[in-house]
Structure 1
Amino acid sequence: MLAGAALVGAAPASSASARTQLAPGVTYTEYDIPAAKGTAHAHVLTVDLRDPHVRVDLLHPGAVAARATVSAMADASGALGGVNGDFFNITEAQHPGVEATGAAVGPAIASGRTLKAAVPDGQRFGPALPPGTSTRDVLGVGVDRRARLDSLALDGTVRTRHGSVPLGGLNQYALPVGSIGAFTDAWGSASRVRATCGTDTERAAPCSTDTYEVTVRRGRVVASADTPGTGTVAADTTVLVGREAGAQWLRELSPGDPVAVRHRLVAADSRIPYRFAIGGYPVRRDGAPLPGLDAKTSAVRTAAGIADDGRTLVLLALDGAPAYRTGLSMAEVADAMAALGTDDAFSLDGGGSSTLVAREPGAAAVSVLNHPTDSPERAVANGIGVFSR
């Protein structure tokens, strides 16, 4: 038993806790948190990024538009442990006949490869964003092995013989009104129709009736369609989906026309390339909670925190067992992450998605260490994986 260690990621001194070393540089802790609506129970992985045998990366099901459980993704990738990640396109009740893609809201980078960019703020799933945050916010780890909070914006163009236009999206379930989005082999097989539904400010707005899709293979137009299609995209192929003005621009293209598509994610704060990045939103920055955090709505939550100038990553998931299901408000999450010694903290998806898994010493597979409110374990878009060799 641990009675109030001063280590980053250890339980606050007022809480009884149990602490287990899963591997050099990775520990697991659980403890109670007194909260306004009842006691919450926290499960925490603390990761020392200074340890050369430890790294973190994106857990994902092999495609942007797909879902899998955290435990399945962890076992498939050989992760020691992890938590669920970004909010995602979980339902499409407002758009009858349109399939929910399962794709995440924010940007995603896995092993240095850009998978997707962020949907417009008004198209996100999840609770209201705190003031001053956006769907472009990420928690990432750079090639320097330091964790940091940042914002990643899409910078891209589509160039043809008619000129060039900005690229409005990359493997996103929602595109800005009037834009063109690119879908690559990272997208998966889900329908691309959802990308043309809603508006920049209203997720439930009707799907656009002015759409067009162009398939580009090896830099040349090979096919076109009046509505977005479905099916996997080959590695040498990019599918361009346009809505409104973007659709009109794509209609000018003919089979055989040359098309060049360029895209990258640009960081607002760091010049260090990211090896890993995941979407969510900040709740604590530079040692202080963000202003305007919700202090009334309590729920089961998942969060990540950064300490030691980016050298320590703390992953927290609350327990969803009935005795603890009242959870924490976002303001309480910020306080809980401060009590764990973090300077920056980041909210991930919660509720039925909140899951923390780890492979205990001697085990061949990970176990779910909290009690998710969903049973069986919910399939999610992505997660943060902890790896040890």
Structure 2
Amino acid sequence: MTRHHRGAARTALTVLLAWGALVGGAGTGTAEAAALRYDSRAAALAPGVQYREFTFAASHGQAHGHLLTVDLRSSHVSVDLLTPGAVAARLPVSRLADARGAQGAVNGDFFDMTETQHPGVAATGAAVGPAIASGEQLKAAVPNGQRFGPSLPPGTTTEDVLGVGTDRTARLDRLTLSGTVASDLGTLRLRGFNQYAIPVGGVGAYTPAWGTASRVRAICGTDTDRAAACSGDTYEVTVRAGKVSRVATTPGRGAIPAGAVVLVGREAGADDLRQLEVGDRVSVSTSLVATGSRTPYRFAIGGFPILRDGSPLAGLNDTTAATRTSAGFGDAGRTLYLLALDGNTETGAGLTVRELASLMSDIGATGAVDLDGGGSSTLVSRRAGAAHVTVRNHPSGGAERPVPNAIGVFSS
């Protein structure tokens, strides 16, 4: 794969933008103006898709960014979630993009990357928030206290998403799980769906989309402390062809057969599942319900909101600078912006979350989310006629980090 190198002989297009409420010094809260300079003219990658680079001065020094601008009005353009084929799996963004023939892509949601707090328990690699790909609902959100990533701003949750509906409009929304386990004994509320952490006392459902990863991580931690010990009170039930086919006292691993659902319970949820016996008829239903739109989503990805109605959210971190990735939209949801920074080091030039929100606003977004950053930040695009995408930014550590999902841009 060819790594993009910046040359000295760029055509410079300079645009000076005043950043409202941008901190001049870390933690000072002083509003100062900063310069955003586009280092190259916008390159049309395909009808409705453009790429450009820029540099800008922020509170921790000059940073370098990469931007894909996507015209959702164009009938040639579509956007979708890229995945490795399983919720609990990871691949580099370039491989995810090449596998689907995407014109460009950026990395996606924060994910279960390490389990040092739980000896003997393997990280699943599954994303934090809800996920919808090609209209298929893949997973729900873990409890707030089980997430990876920066602290959530007040009023936001792990259920928050950025999505594009079947009306080809991007928006911020919240996807809440609505699910049941119905049997002759009654109906249980489902508290999890293909997620790496089940709420305390709950029951979670796992489908073949989960993959082969162990389900033990699902019963570790609590709703407020991801480092808390794993529960010792668990039960697992496998449902095939509408009947209980197997029960176990601990969560298992391995591929889930087509058409089957595995139910994992902890504490009170485990007690509920113990009432079921092999041969009992069981019906499992799952649905992600949008709180802000009745339009079905073709694509949705978890990420915490940083910009809403053109204004940065209150309570965003304005002291810690890092390499970051963001997705946002403008023009009433008809223009999508996908951004990734170059990764120098986490202690070098970067953006605070507050600065990221201001930058997305200045680029043209009215709504935006923060996606996984640091070593995950990756933006790729495909040159005309190229068989493979090119990594446009410089990922931290000098190589791409495998991730559970990405936002892919397609053009016919």
Q: Deviations over 1:190-235 (max 9, x none)?
A: 0000000000000000000000000000110000100000001112
Given the alignment of the two structures, is residue 158 of structure 1 paired with residue 181 of structure 2, yes or no?
Answer: yes
Cα deviation digits, residues 71-128 of structure 1 (max 9, x gap): 0000001111100000000000000000100000000000000000000000001111
Aligned counterparts of 1:67 and 1:354: Cα–Cα separation in 2: 14
CA distance in 2, matches of 1:238, 1:311: 38
> Offset at 1:356?
0.2
Amino acid at match of 2:80: D
> Counterpart in 2 of 1:15?
37
- Structure 2 residue corresponding to 1:83, chosen from 85, 88, 106: 106
Alignment of 1:138-149 (within 5 A): 138-149=161-172
C-alpha contact (below 8 Å) 1:56/1:385 kept by paired residues:
yes
Q: 2:289 aligns with which of 266, 289, 292?
A: 266
Q: Work out the CA distance in 2 between the residues paired with 1:109 and 1:325.
A: 35
Determine the structure 1 residue equivalent to 2:370.
347
8 Å CA contact 1:3, 1:13 repeated in 2:
no
Distance 2:48 2:398 in 1: 31
Instruction: Report the CA distance shift for 1:227/1:73 in structure 2 as closer, same or farther (over 3 A).
Output: same
Corresponding residue of 1:362: 385
> Which secondary structure does the structure 2 equivalent of 1:305 belong to?
strand
**SS of match in other structure, 1:30:** strand
Match of 1:305 in 2: 328
Q: 1:2 to 1:362 in 2, by over 3 A?
A: farther
Within a 5 Å distance, the mapping from 1:57-206 to structure 2 comes to 57-206=80-229
Counterparts of 1:72 and 1:325, CA distance in 2: 28
Q: 1:3 corresponds to which residue?
A: 13
The residue number in structure 2 matching 1:377 is 400
Aligned to 2:357: 334
The separation in 2 between residues aligned to 1:158 and 1:298, in whole angstroms, is 45
Q: 1:177 to 1:322 in 2, by over 3 A?
A: closer
Aligned-residue Cα RMSD (Å) equals 1.5
- The 8 Å contact of residues 164 and 297 in structure 2, kept in 1 or not, is answered as yes
The CA distance in 2 between the partners of 1:94 and 1:323, in whole Å, is 23
* Partner Cα distance (2:72, 2:344) in 1: 31
Are 1:228 and 2:251 an aligned pair?
A: yes
Q: Secondary structure at the match of 2:209?
A: coil
Identity %: 62
Contact 1:300 1:318 in 2 (8 A): yes
**Within 2, Cα distance between the matches of 1:351 and 1:225?**
39
Q: 1:213 and 1:307, CA in 2 relative to 1: closer, same or farther beyond 3 A? A: same
Match of residue 9 from structure 1: none
Cα deviation digits, residues 235-261 of structure 1 (max 9, x gap) = 210000000011011111111100011
- Return the letter of the residue paired with 2:13: A
Q: Secondary structure at the match of 2:171?
A: strand
The alignment partner of 1:39 has SS state of strand
- What SS is found at the alignment partner of 1:384? strand
* Equivalent residue letter for 2:39: S
Provide the rounded CA distance (Å) in 2 between the counterparts of 1:14 and 1:281: 24
CA distance in 1, matches of 2:344, 2:35: 24
Query: Are 2:36 and 2:55, in contact at CA under 8 Å, matched by a contact in 1?
Result: no
**Tell me, which stretches of 5 or more residues in structure 1 are unaligned?**
7-11
Where 2:271 maps in the other structure, the secondary structure is helix
Output the CA distance in 2 between the equivalents of 1:81 and 1:253: 48
In the alignment, structure 1 residue 212 sits paired with structure 2 residue 238:
no
- 1:219-298 equivalence runs, <5 A: 219-298=242-321
Q: Distance in 1 between matches of 2:113 and 2:188?
A: 31
Instruction: Tell me, yes or no, if structure 1 residue 50 matches structure 2 residue 50.
Output: no
Which letter does structure 1 place at the counterpart of 2:278?
P
Would the alpha carbon gap of residues 148 and 323 (structure 1) be closer, same or farther in structure 2, given more than 3 Å must change? Answer: closer
Taking structure 2 as the reference length, the TM-score comes to: 0.91
Deviation of 1:52 after TM superposition, in Å, equals: 0.6
Deviation at 1:374, TM superposition (A): 2.9
Q: Any conservation in 1 of the 2:323–2:346 contact (CA below 8 Å)?
A: no
Aligned pairs, number: 384
1:17 positional shift = 2.0
* Structure 1 counterpart SS, 2:354: helix
**What secondary structure sits across from 1:155 in the alignment?**
strand
- What is aligned with 2:4? none
Give SS of 2:306's match: strand
Contact 2:36 2:54 in 1 (8 A): no
Distance in structure 2 (CA, Å) of the matches to 1:330 and 1:172: 26
CA distance change for structure 1 residues 20 and 324 in 2, over 3 Å: closer, same or farther? farther
1:329-379 CA-to-partner distances (Å, cap 9, x unmatched) read 001001110110111111000000000000112311101100000332100
Question: How much has 1:13 moved relative to structure 2?
Answer: 7.6
Misfit runs of 4+, over 6 Å:
none
Q: Is the 8 A contact 2:180 2:285 kept in 1?
A: yes
Counterparts of 1:86 and 1:55 in 2: how far apart (Å)?
A: 19
Hey, what's the Cα distance between the residues in 1 that align with 2:181 and 2:14?
56
